[in-house]
Structure 1
């Protein structure tokens, strides 16, 4: 079984693709699930979003509505929370948004996540080395690029382990039949 068959193709929404109208919590949850489920990311819950607000990872909603800014932060947090501690995510977001601005940092991050996943998927399928990051790593973008790469590597490794363990189980079943 190949890695590509397990990992569905995906495209994360860019800043311009995020809703420019305010959303209620349930709409935000549906939107994140729609875009992140193909990455194997655990669904975001209302309790999680409320905790992100309490931890000041997100600004508080305005009259129970969430803006494009909230949605961008939630996407980034959801992608990174299995790989990094929340405090590191918070610091990384602050550094990159102060350095690059929110729109540019978000667009660069989702683009780098897509590129990193594709490149690492390719590496998982082949025995030959590939360049893991496109473009130059600079002081301004190094956190984004390396975080995207870390996420992608963890995702592909999990899939490879699951694929291999399924293969071993199938092999042992076949040998039991002989």
Structure 2
């Protein structure tokens, strides 16, 4: 029984330690599709269930663009906005349908004009990474973030951002729980 508990603790601790792509880690230059898939593959590799799994493929990214989950790339180049949205979409796609993701992100994406820098998206992404890092450690972080957002004058859609962050936190937790379940299945139910 002691070995079982240790194995279970290892699985849970590995899930907690999965990497977060910080806003500062996202390139400030526009990238072509191959560069985007390479960046995502390297940055999110700790989330893969099996080494052969792909994080995001060109087809997936093209389908997300067709579904209007983010603005179309300009001259086949993807901006920092696209990368932030792709990271968020990656974390949502196993929990929510494409239509639900579209509904969730629309208040943010419809305000991105000509792929220019989006303060709202950067704020959303910054707090998304905070939620990722703290979702297992402190469930009260969401209310702290919401209070910070309420005091920021530069944000117009405060309610939408707070609602989106609530859904993101739930999705992060669901993803973590799903990965723990998969790892337990892989380890103990071969």
Q: Does TM, normalized by the shorter one, top 0.5?
A: yes
Map 1:17-36 onto structure 2 (within 5 A).
17-36=25-44
Normalised by the length of structure 1, the TM-score is 0.73
Q: Which structure is larger by alpha-carbon Rg, 1 or 2? A: 1
2:139 and 2:61 map into 1 onto residues whose CA distance is: 32
Write the distance in 2 (CA, Å) between the matches of 1:162 and 1:7. Answer: 14
Deviation at 1:146, TM superposition (A): 2.6
Cα RMSD (Å): 2.7
TM-score normalised by structure 2 residue count:
0.69
Distance (whole Å) between structure 1 residues aligned to residue 93 and residue 44 of structure 2: 13
1:157 maps to what in 2? 177
Contact 2:33 / 2:58 at 8 angstroms: preserved in 1? yes
8 Å CA contact retained: 1:109, 1:144:
no
How many residues align structurally? Answer: 156
How many Å separate the matches in 1 of 2:142 and 2:30? Answer: 34
The aligned runs of 1:1-178 (5 Å cut-off) are 1=7, 2=9, 3-5=12-14, 8-14=17-23, 16-40=24-48, 43-96=55-108, 101-116=120-135, 118-119=136-137, 131-136=138-143, 137=146, 139-165=159-185, 168-169=188-189
Query: In the aligned structure 2, how far is the partner of 1:154 from the partner of 1:135?
Result: 16
Separation in 2, partners of 1:166, 1:68: 36
Cα distance in 2 for partners of 1:61, 1:152 equals 27
Query: Is 2:15–2:180's contact at 8 Å kept on the other side of the alignment?
Result: no
SS at match of 1:101: helix
Unpaired segments ≥5 residues, structure 1: 120-130, 171-178
Q: CA deviation at 1:39?
A: 2.6
Note the residue ranges of structure 2 that are not aligned, 5 or more in a row. 1-6, 112-118, 148-158
